[in-house]
Amino acid sequence: MDRRRLLQVVGGVGAGIVGGLVPGALAREASAGPRPARKAPKPRPAAKSVVILGGGFGGITAALELRKAVAADRAAITLVDRKPRFLMGLRKLWIVAGVGNRADGERPLAALRARGVDVREAAVTAVDTGARAVRTEAGDLPYDFLVVALGAEPRPDLVPGFSEAAFNLYDPEQSEKLGARVASLSRGRVVIGVAGVPYKCPPAPYECAMLLDEAFRKRGVRDAIEIRTFTVQPMSLPVLGRKRCDEFEGRLQAKGIAFEAKKKLVKLDGSRAVFEDGTLEADVLAIVPPHRPPAVVKASGLTGAGEWVAVDRGTLRAGPAGVYAIGDVTDIPLANKMSLPKAGIFAELEGKAVAAGIAAEILGKAAPTPFDGRGYCFVEHGAGQAAAVQGEFFAEGEPKVEFLAPTPEGYAKKVEFERERLKAWFG
């Protein structure tokens, strides 16, 4: 074959290869008909809208845990609270006793934005579960998932005669005024009373009494100041049972702190408490008012015929589709007919459970382990000691609760409890 013929052959084959086919393959391709069209890639699902009402233990935990579990392109998380700042609740007692200040336990909720949470400072005016929307003073927020974590509000207006002559122990501003008042007291009677139930952090009034006992001793005025406590309940901390309450009330007595149960408050007359069976004068009167859910929760219909939001105790789902409720705004019955205590640790653990449940639904994963009712708290006894209360509150028959002796280690754990959460949540 001469050179010119060789180039013609090679050129023809090369053209077929460059075109992607040799001549034989080209014929086969033509006879096979058109290629099937490629399938378009499946569109990614739109981000789900998760709205969380309340910037306390439960709301903050739910927002941050969900953000860790689900990327921003799958879930848009909005947290709404009418207050701009979070305050660690245990701080109120330290303020009263003069052993801590407000600033050290307070953080701006806006700091959560750096963690991927859209924070809105606004009051919630309505929850429309039919339209799946929250109405706020700053506008409407549609939701796919709603977490109601609005807490329980102290209601001094439910105590007849409550006035400036008495202090609301659960109000941060009142705590500062109460702290200034007891710091100037050199003699007289301090009365701390539970006027109604339910109320959050059940040991708090008795912790306050023990911390004041320590403060007065340090100032050398304890012998001139009487400390008395009372409650409308049949015992100090009913969820613990009679035996442990007797033990706890004995600890109060050992410090010279009087305790009276079953004291039904009829009204306040200045700083005088009027009961069904007598009166009690006080130079300083600190009251724990009964707590109620925010009015908007009741108006939304989430409480049904009851006072609080009823939920499935494992999933924390409320009645309407896509709605969960956690923390103090709920009522979770226990086997002994009492209710799960209203405490920050339960709100936190419920927030984790709800975040896991919502994440599983968004990502199409199996349902997570349900909330199991285990919890704990630290009850300060003064003198740098605290006792741990821990237990299985969903146990059959009655809660299985331990009430340990007060120790310096218990107090250190309480201090660390605050430090760990402020750092983990706000950096």
Q: What is the mean pLDDT of residues 339-346?
A: 98
Helix (H, G, I), strand (E, B) or coil at 244: helix
Contacts of 176 (CB under 8 A, 6+ apart): 95, 102
In the DSSP assignment, the letter for residue 367 is P
Q: What is the mean pLDDT of residues 119-138?
A: 98
| Beta bridge pairs of residue 423 | none
Question: Band of the pLDDT at 398, cuts 50, 70, 90?
Answer: very high
**pLDDT at position 30:** 46
**pLDDT at position 39:** 66
* Same fold across 48-152+293-373 and 156-290: yes
Q: What is the mean pLDDT of residues 115-127?
A: 98
Contacts of 175 (CB under 8 A, 6+ apart): 92, 93, 95, 96, 167, 169
Q: Mean pLDDT of all residues in the chain?
A: 92
pLDDT at residue 17 above 70? no
**pLDDT at position 42:** 64
Question: Band of the pLDDT at 40, cuts 50, 70, 90?
Answer: low
CA distance 183 to 170: 18
Hey, what are 239's tokens? Answer: 């969820």
What are 296-313's pLDDT values in tens digits?
Answer: 999 999 999 899 999 999
CA distance 335 to 327: 19
What are 176-196's pLDDT values in tens digits?
Answer: 999 999 999 999 999 999 999
**pLDDT at position 45:** 77
Q: What is the mean pLDDT of residues 312-318?
A: 98
- CATH class of the domain comprising 48-152+293-373: alpha beta
| Beta bridge pairs of residue 225 | 188
Q: Which residue has the higher pLDDT, 23 or 73?
A: 73
**pLDDT at position 13:** 39
With CA atoms as reference, report the closest residue to 303 among 329, 340, 328, 342.
329
For the chain, the residue count is 427
pLDDT at residue 43 above 80? no
Q: What is the mean pLDDT of residues 327-336?
A: 97
Q: What is the mean pLDDT of residues 252-268?
A: 98
pLDDT at residue 391 above 70? yes
Residue spans of the domains in the chain: they are 48-152+293-373, 156-290
Q: What is the mean pLDDT of residues 384-408?
A: 97
State CA 347 to chain mean position distance.
4
Return the CATH number of 156-290, one of 3.50.50.60, 3.30.200.20, 2.40.50.140, 3.40.50.300.
Answer: 3.50.50.60
**pLDDT at position 33:** 56
CA distance 64 to 106: 18
The count of other CB atoms within 10 Å of the CB of residue 233 is 18
**pLDDT at position 386:** 98
Q: What is the mean pLDDT of residues 348-373?
A: 98
Q: What is the mean pLDDT of residues 348-359?
A: 98
Contacts of 312 (CB under 8 A, 6+ apart): none
pLDDT at residue 320 above 90? yes
Q: What is the mean pLDDT of residues 10-30?
A: 42
